[in-house]
Structure 1
């Protein structure tokens, strides 16, 4: 097949022609296509789940450089490399939302602190605007990146486990970055919100620095116990969910509207989190209920640190009415689980039902703590499906996604016992190669 280069990737001609509608990056050691903040793992899209590179170069996604790994249950754990199906491929690219006219600098969110020169615009509106990218990828107009995303361009002296921590490290230095007066990001979450707020209202942010970092940690890693931070985190997420977005908006305009609705309220939430019970009560109740269930004397937590796996065995006597197998974490709060273990892979077992989660800590770059390279559970999922009963389908969210889950759509129909599933999972994690490396080799150190 003819070969063409698309941006920094080398691909066969039929694939390269399709990449023009995507933003393409190498993230976590994999070629990724991005559209509407949706990630597409390009090797898997071309070669099928479990695709690996023959020459180790993530920018080379030609079919001749792709193989597929296969794992078989009931063996001693061998992985077999085989060919991909080298047929013409049509990438499943989501349609781009119809873009509204790009908002100019005059539409940027600002004015929270009159002494701050910074304002906010979404990344998609900053292609020609000198900017500082926060908790995000960057673009050609970016003069400074402060992000923990994989393959980021954050200067070493500002790197941290959270983008908010990087923002505070920069602000403490107070060095101007050329003519950049716009901060930008490509999504809404609490780490991004706290980072942006630190630039738009630095005096308030510095007064509440520890609280903002706790909020960012709750948002990204679902870890933390401070009642004040929990209330603030639940409140800010609730405000974002309730933000009014008139009409059908493209992704960037919707993002701008969300930040426009939430950013001016951050300071008051930090000062008076107790005044927002109508926003945080449901989240606090959900967490308290989850804490009670996980504190049940018959709940067992077993950690297999050699494979970075924590297994929560929920009491068999716990009626399924208390759980929802179709929801993340069986309908319980992920904070309750994550506060109990630092392992990067979390398995939850209740009878025959199993959910496996790979945590956000294994997706981003971490500067301190245990490095948590991620394995591709799609290989294991295919092995489970090979001999599974009809009507029972195993799904995996994809190694490229921030917190993917592996679970059975109908757990009551599986032919496998939970003991057998866990034994095979441990064996697979021990032999599977690294498929996603958020942290550069040797970048994470110290206590988790």
Structure 2
């Protein structure tokens, strides 16, 4: 079967496979988005993973559609679309592509795995060329364009060039090297005695104590299996984040639902004596943050690495913040059990009253 990429707006003009998105009228949806109608046999943690499963099940209903689309450009969605257009090469490099999609979406990586270095190079190359030639993630509104329209140019540029990077990543070294080297330095720091990780498996929380803010690919690298990261940096600078793993439907493991962070922010603000206030994002944001705020961060800034946005000094000691966070989630999750396939309605209904008190 030979596939072709089409703009999302032309979805209903021909039978179309939709990747890493949802849409009525699609011949087949291959997406890990919460509630997406991906066939049970093709579900995977990443949308690219669902595509790779589909390539191994060519008789799956809907795969006969020749058109492929997505409503946005990111690493996972791009790898999924590209894999449908290059099925033989994709299956020959399946583990690499799976690792790349997971790193791109969840920022997780086992650096001991043989594909980890190549996957990081691919992700850094995609990031670098996207910023150089187009606009950053979540940046389309600044151009007064819709993402589903603006992203077409990205797909059309990257789709014919990605195969060379899969085969010979050194061909793109000039583009991927700066971010790759920055991440590698941060990974070395993460693996050093200067950084301490404390895990709370009962609530899916990892606490990272580090001297300075770190790139996500290093910070979240060792957090697979966990869904909340509390970063405690020197000079009493902090951030709490729900990972993207709780925005999507994971196939590999159950998760706990997101709790609204208003109640936790209220507790911290009651103790905070600095000029700043603890603010939080809503639970439907792709990666909700709880942090001390100066000016409100725009979405591209929240998506950017922690070392690329301002972090302010709190008056609260780190052990007090950690205890407040642990207590908040233990109380909120006291009567819940992890499971798969939460709906957003389920998640809103699951929040105990104490978790949604006003900040």
Are 2:239 and 1:349 aligned?
no
Secondary structure (helix, strand or coil) at the match of 1:161 reads: coil
The Cα offsets for residues 202-222 of structure 1, whole Å up to 9 and x where unpaired, read as 122222222111111111111
2:65 pairs, out of 180, 195, 220, with 180
Displacement over 4 Å in runs of 4+: 410-413
Secondary structure (helix, strand or coil) at the match of 1:297 reads: coil
Secondary structure (helix, strand or coil) at the match of 1:374 reads: coil
Are 2:162 and 1:266 aligned?
yes
Are 2:131 and 1:241 aligned?
yes
Shift of 1:125: 3.5
User: 2: CA distance between counterparts of 1:205 and 1:369?
Assistant: 25
Q: Partner of 2:105 in structure 1?
A: 220
User: 2: CA distance between counterparts of 1:169 and 1:385?
Assistant: 47
Q: Is the 8 A contact 1:365 1:438 kept in 2?
A: no
Shift of 1:412: 5.1
Secondary structure (helix, strand or coil) at the match of 1:400 reads: coil
Q: Is the 8 A contact 1:135 1:185 kept in 2?
A: yes
What are the within-5 Å matches in structure 2 for residues 406-421 of structure 1? Answer: 406-409=290-293, 414-421=314-321
User: 2: CA distance between counterparts of 1:422 and 1:354?
Assistant: 10
The Cα offsets for residues 257-302 of structure 1, whole Å up to 9 and x where unpaired, read as 0101111111111011012111111121111221232233242211
Q: Partner of 2:341 in structure 1?
A: 440
Structure having the larger proportion of residues in helix: 2
Secondary structure (helix, strand or coil) at the match of 1:414 reads: coil
Cα 1:346–1:185 shift into 2, 3 Å: same
Q: Is the 8 A contact 2:278 2:292 kept in 1?
A: yes
Shift of 1:194: 1.1
What TM-score, normalized by structure 2, do the two folds share? 0.79
The Cα offsets for residues 48-105 of structure 1, whole Å up to 9 and x where unpaired, read as xxxxxxxxxxxxxxxxxxxxxxxxxxxxxxxxxxxxxxxxxxxxxxxxxxxxxxxxxx
Q: Is the 8 A contact 1:364 1:439 kept in 2?
A: no
Q: Is the 8 A contact 2:70 2:148 kept in 1?
A: no
Q: Is the 8 A contact 1:148 1:364 kept in 2?
A: yes
- When the two chains are superposed, the root-mean-square deviation of aligned CA atoms in Å is 2.6
What are the within-5 Å matches in structure 2 for residues 311-390 of structure 1? Answer: 311-314=207-210, 318=211, 323=212, 330=213, 332-342=214-224, 343-350=226-233, 351-386=235-270, 388-389=272-273
User: 2: CA distance between counterparts of 1:364 and 1:278?
Assistant: 33
Q: Partner of 2:324 in structure 1?
A: 424
Shift of 1:127: 4.2
User: 2: CA distance between counterparts of 1:147 and 1:121?
Assistant: 17
Q: Partner of 2:302 in structure 1?
A: none
Q: Partner of 1:170 in structure 2?
A: 54
Secondary structure (helix, strand or coil) at the match of 2:173 reads: helix
User: 1: CA distance between counterparts of 2:64 and 2:45?
Assistant: 27
Shift of 1:390: 6.2
User: 2: CA distance between counterparts of 1:212 and 1:340?
Assistant: 19
What TM-score, normalized by structure 1, do the two folds share? 0.64
Q: Partner of 1:113 in structure 2?
A: none
Structure having the larger proportion of residues in strand: 1
User: 1: CA distance between counterparts of 2:206 and 2:184?
Assistant: 21
Shift of 1:370: 4.2
Mark the runs of 5 or more structure 2 residues left unpaired by the alignment. 136-142, 295-310, 343-359
Mark the runs of 5 or more structure 1 residues left unpaired by the alignment. 1-115, 324-329, 442-448
Q: Partner of 1:68 in structure 2?
A: none
Secondary structure (helix, strand or coil) at the match of 1:346 reads: strand
